[in-house]
Structure 1
Amino acid sequence: MRTFTPTKARFFGYLLLCIIASSCGKVSPVPLSNKQKEKIDSYIKHLQKRHEIPGVSLAIIKDEEVLYKETFGKANIEHNSSVLDQSIFRVYSLTKPIVAVAVFQLIEKEKLSLEDAIGKYVPDLPLSWNTIKIKHLLTHSSGIPDMAPYNRMEKLTEKEAKELVFSKEKLFDPGEKYAYNQTNFWLLQLIIEKVSGESLEDFIIKNQFDGANEEIFFSSNSKEIVPNRVTPYFPFETGTIQIDHSSLKGRYMFAANGLNITINAFIDWDKKLKSGELINKETLDEMWEVFSYTASNKRFVYGWDKHIVNRHDSYGFSGSLVTAYRIFPDDNLSIIFLSNGLGNYYNIENIIDHIASIINSDIVNVANKAFETLLQVSVEDDINAFETVYVHLKNKEEYAQLNFENLVNDVGYQLINQKRIEKAIQVFTFNTQQFPSSANAFDSLGESYYRDYQNKKALVNYKKAIELGGTNGNARKMLALIKK
């Protein structure tokens, strides 16, 4: 008979625990390598420099574990206060997926249906709105006019905004196409409140965040003084970064843009969503079913964008260009990006894609990866370094199918957007050298010189663009404008 020593017993005991854990489906996530963490840290700091982002809170969750959570920069520039885990961010339109979950919680309880006409819950609607259903509000396919574009909306009460939007004609038939629209979520707020008998904020905080706490609240007013809330900074009014004082009267846009939350509270919400605590798997699948528009190929689900990155499905949304959330369900990966402003425009969804590719090299948008690489070196280094990286990328099989002329052109325009005009001129010049028969390359170089008030050089390049076949009349139009 074979006997067990204490050491062997401990070994087999450990082995048994491993087998039990494996049979229960619990898999420990692979921690980030130091290289991955350094890449993410470096990338976020680069983004802050590139786009004048004051502060960032970033979390990455994989297999129910927080792989990465860091804060960067300033919650308030004037007082030199740093972003902390306790910092509260307005997430703007990133509120909408949370509201969509609230709708599906009511659907799961059979208190609502996607097929319900909205007139069942909202009285005194315009007659032309009678065929609109809840599914049309969630998918921005209602065809009704949008409250948001009206001048000085922040000065309007809910009654005034309602009268204004009710006086406008419907734009298209329900279900026809996607047209992003804040009025849709104003109506969803009214419906949730009618059915639940509670305010939107109370219903969501109770049913998604375990009740009142200091890390989650609703407010569409940036002027309100709230402890730990970050100060928002945007360039929209003057073209340069400044404190944003946007505000709305009352609470009628809470469903569209009212959520304020810390990174920790958002992490907890993400875990509840994935675990089935908020809605069950069947309801989640229904919420993430792609909506079929009758006259559009737009890929959108109920209240969420759907993105496919190299065959990896993902769902998420963003808010006011500065906050974003994305979940890759098959990879059990979530990314939460919260920031408090910007100095120039960028595509925040591309930022999420790039972060995901650092975590999982198979979740990669090759064009975006090349663009981010070239843009980063163009900002951080000189044109010689840019050329070296360009040659390296172009010789890699991974990038063999990319249109490098368009790629470099996009980098140049992003540099213009960042007001790095001298670097933009260098990049556009490089593009003309690489593609000397491209009219578009010379047209873009001409535009960069024009924006730098170097009209003589702009004229030379616009003429060259015309010699090479022109750019759909743009070069001739610019020549005429410069010669005036």
Structure 2
Amino acid sequence: MLVNEKLIMKKQYQFLLYFLLSIVFNVSGQNIAVQKQIEDYILEVQQQYEVPGISLCVIKGDEVFYKKNFGFANIEHSVPIKKTSIFRVYSLTKPIIAVTVFQLIEQGKLSLEDAISKYIKGLPDSWKDIQVKHLLTHSSGLPDMRVFGSGAELTEQSAKEKAFKESMRFSKGERYDYNQTNFWLLHRIIEKITGEKLADFIAKNQFEGERTNVFFSSDSKQIVKNRVTSYFPFATGTMIIDLPTIEGDYMFAANGLNITLDELVKWDKRLKENKLLKPETKMKMWETFSYTASDKVFGYSWNKITRNRHDSYGFTGSLITAYRIFPKDKLSIFLLSNGLGKIYDIDTVVDKIANIIDKDIYNVQEQTFYKLYQILEDKGLADFKKSYKTLNELPNYNELNLEEMVNSLGYTFLRNQELQKAIQLFTFNTQQYPNSANVYDSLGEAYLIQNELKLAEKNYQKAIALGGTNGNAKEMLVRIQAKKKK
């Protein structure tokens, strides 16, 4: 080989090496920048909402894209969150229970159409034809055990006796109504079918027998090695150690899972690799349930959240834990925390993390809200109405809840003391959604603030005629009558 040929080949090799290194460096640099953005955002959330400790993990493809612990597992003793920290995930337990139910369905031991009376005896007559699917989708219409009290004195027997005396809240399948009684029943159905304790069956069939870093306990006061202390502001308005909730073993299916971040990540991997459920069974579990009198988008104990045509499935627990999987994007986000000082929407935090990783994943509702707000501010109601009418041409139109959006815009102007704009928006919403009690309730509120008592009264009465707004419209009418007398 000639010398000049060797030099040419050397230069070609060097060029290729530099080219490959530049790609690697650039990708690595991009990842570092994104990871820094995630970290800055979580630190901001932690400070703003007084979150004691957070354990966060993002899986992209088959790799851990980002994983870090923040803050304290126990504030009083300055114990940091670490790899071995165990979180009580509260209602994030429910998707695990859904997987258990669908495992039994795969085995031919259970059906979504089964009446619960097939497995549980001694139920009130009005409960007997409730089906398994109604429990999973919170559409049973059953009275909710969580309203009966808390603590060790609320035994399973006393909770059951109280529930059995209550009337049904609505007809089965009608609408979504979050309810812990549903999961007490699922707990007992699972144990009846398997002949095993719920905790034992789930450990064996979902967590490869792990019992140290995955276990069930609905009592946050119980002393457990490595478990984080939970803190909430609900009892006093400031953050204190978690008060007793419904603690008994009978509530394990509703709120009892305790787990480390690593074990939850392993569980997610098994779910993705179809080791927990067959692909078709998993898709059935995520399928949107058809309520007879509601447009609620919800699967079988899984929230379905779509962000700019990116479908995701997951759940949250007690405002402090969240898990979300974007199957087509091969993205999973885990956010486990041990409390908060101020209430915030943890799903919004998950949305933001997803958006930092992939700019195409964004909340269409939120972005449209701000665009319409700006149009109202800059151009007025006429241009707002024109823009509103074009929204149904958007490819992601089905992600928009326009009734809720216009209502939120109305309240934004109400808080800004721009009363006339608020009334215009609420009035527009009643024209678009004449069968919604909520829009008339909102318009009534604006008129009440304006001291237009007759118009306020008229709209609250309309809200009541359309089914009411959980007693608010009736309460407001009482206040109007008192105001009239003065």
With over 3 angstroms needed to count, the CA separation of the structure-2 counterparts of 1:106 and 1:463, relative to structure 1, is: closer
Q: Any idea what the Cα deviations from partners look like across 1:242-295, whole Å, max 9, x if unmatched?
A: 111324453000000000011100000001001100001011011111111111
What is the deviation of 1:213?
Answer: 3.4
What is the aligned counterpart of 1:177 among 156, 175, 178?
A: 175
Matched residue, 1:138: 136
Deviation (angstroms), 1:438? 3.5
1:54, 1:74 within 8 Å by CA — same for their partners in 2? yes
Q: Which residue of 2 aligns with 1:451?
A: none
Q: 1:197 to 1:146 in 2, by over 3 A?
A: same
Pair 1:438 & 2:421 matched: yes
The answer to whether 1:151 aligns with 2:138 is no
- Supply the RMSD in Å over aligned alpha carbons: 3.8
Shift of 1:161: 0.8
- Aligned to 1:223, the other structure's residue is in SS state coil
Q: Which residue of 1 aligns with 2:67?
A: 69
Shift of 1:352: 1.1
- Structure-1 residue corresponding to 2:17: none
User: Which one-letter code corresponds to 1:163 in the other structure?
Assistant: E
Q: Does the alignment pair 1:95 with 2:93?
A: yes
| Equivalent AA in structure 1 for residue 38 of structure 2 | I
SS in 1 for 2:117: helix
**Letter of the structure 1 residue corresponding to residue 324 of structure 2:** R
Partners of 1:36 and 1:53 in 2: how far apart? 22
Instruction: Give the whole-Å Cα distance in 1 for the aligned partners of 2:127 and 2:362.
Output: 42
Any conservation in 2 of the 1:153–1:161 contact (CA below 8 Å)? no
Question: Does the 8 A contact of 1:94 with 1:317 survive in 2?
Answer: yes
Structure 1: which 5+ runs fail to align?
12-28, 373-386, 392-399, 414-427, 442-461
- Report the equivalent of 1:345: 343
Deviates more, 1:182-191 or 1:305-314: 305-314
Equivalenced residues, count: 402
Mapped to 2, the partners of 1:370 and 1:229 lie a distance apart of 42
Q: Is the 8 A contact 1:354 1:369 kept in 2?
A: no
SS at 1:253 equivalent: helix
2:239 is aligned with 1:256: no
Query: Partners in 2 of 1:68 and 1:46 — Cα distance?
Result: 17
Name the counterpart of 1:319: 317
Q: Which residue of 2 aligns with 1:125?
A: 123
Change over 3 Å in CA distance of 1:121–1:350 after alignment to 2: same
Residues 223, 247 of structure 1: 8 Å contact kept: no
Mapped to 2, the partners of 1:196 and 1:350 lie a distance apart of 38
- Normalised TM-score (structure 2): 0.73
In structure 2, how many angstroms separate the alpha carbons of the residues matched to 1:162 and 1:299?
A: 30
Q: Give the secondary-structure state (helix, strand or coil) at the position aligned to 1:330.
A: coil
Q: Percent identity?
A: 53
1:111-135 deviations in whole A, cap 9, x for unaligned? 1111111111111111111211111
Corresponding residue for residue 361 of structure 2: 363
Distance 1:38 1:408, change over 3 A: farther
Cα distance change on mapping 1:32 and 1:64 into 2, 3 Å: farther
SS in 2 for 1:438: helix
2-side partners of 1:130 and 1:184: how far apart? Answer: 13
User: What residue in structure 2 maps to residue 160 of structure 1?
Assistant: 158
Q: Which residue of 2 aligns with 1:299?
A: 297
Give the aligned partner of residue 381 of structure 2. none
* 8 Å CA contact 1:155, 1:248 repeated in 2: no
Task: Indicate conservation of the 8 Å contact 1:438/1:465, yes or no.
Answer: no
Q: What is the distance in 1 between the residues matched to 2:217 and 2:91?
A: 12
Q: CA deviation at 1:410?
A: 7.5
User: Hey, what's the Cα distance between the residues in 2 that align with 1:274 and 1:343?
Assistant: 34
> Does the C-alpha gap of structure 1 residues 172 and 365 become closer, same or farther in structure 2, counting only changes over 3 Å?
same
Is residue 150–residue 247 contact of structure 2 (8 Å, CA) maintained in 1?
Answer: no
Structure 2: distance between partners of 1:52 and 1:204: 34
The one-character-per-residue Cα deviations of 1:152-182 (angstroms, maximum 9, x if unpaired) are 3552111111111111122222111111110
Residues 404/121 of structure 1: CA separation in 2 closer, same or farther (3 Å cut): closer
- Report how far residue 32 of structure 1 moved: 6.1
TM-score normalised by length of structure 1: 0.74
Give, as a single letter, the amino acid of the residue that structure 2 aligns with 1:282. Answer: E
SS in 1 for 2:103: helix
The 5 A counterparts of 1:30-429 are: 33-152=31-150, 154-368=152-366
Q: CA deviation at 1:369?
A: 6.3
* CA shift in 2, pair 1:59/1:40, >3 Å: same
Partners of 2:272 and 2:28 in 1: CA distance: 19
- The one-letter code sitting in structure 1 at the alignment partner of 2:355 is S
Once the 2 structures are TM-superposed, how far is the Cα of residue 212 of structure 1 from its aligned partner?
Answer: 2.9
Aligned-pair CA distance for 1:466? 6.5
Distance change (3 Å), C-alpha of 1:438 and 1:196? same
Task: Please say which of residues 90-99 and 175-184 is displaced more in the overlay.
Answer: 175-184
- Structure-2 change in CA distance of 1:290 and 1:408 (3 Å): closer
Query: CA–CA distance in 2 between the matches of 1:370 and 1:34?
Result: 30
Q: Which amino acid aligns with 2:124?
A: P
Question: How many Å separate the matches in 1 of 2:311 and 2:199?
Answer: 30
Query: Residue 91 of structure 1 contacts residue 323 of structure 1 at CA under 8 Å; is this kept in 2?
Result: yes
Q: Is the 8 A contact 1:113 1:134 kept in 2?
A: yes
Q: Is the Cα–Cα contact under 8 Å of residues 150 and 244 in structure 2 kept in the other structure? A: no
Q: Any unmatched runs of 5+ in structure 2? A: 1-5, 14-26, 379-389, 392-401, 425-446, 461-475
**Residues 57 and 249 of structure 1, relative CA distance in 2, 3 Å threshold:** closer
When residues 108 and 305 of structure 1 are mapped into structure 2, their CA distance, relative to the original with a 3 A threshold, is same
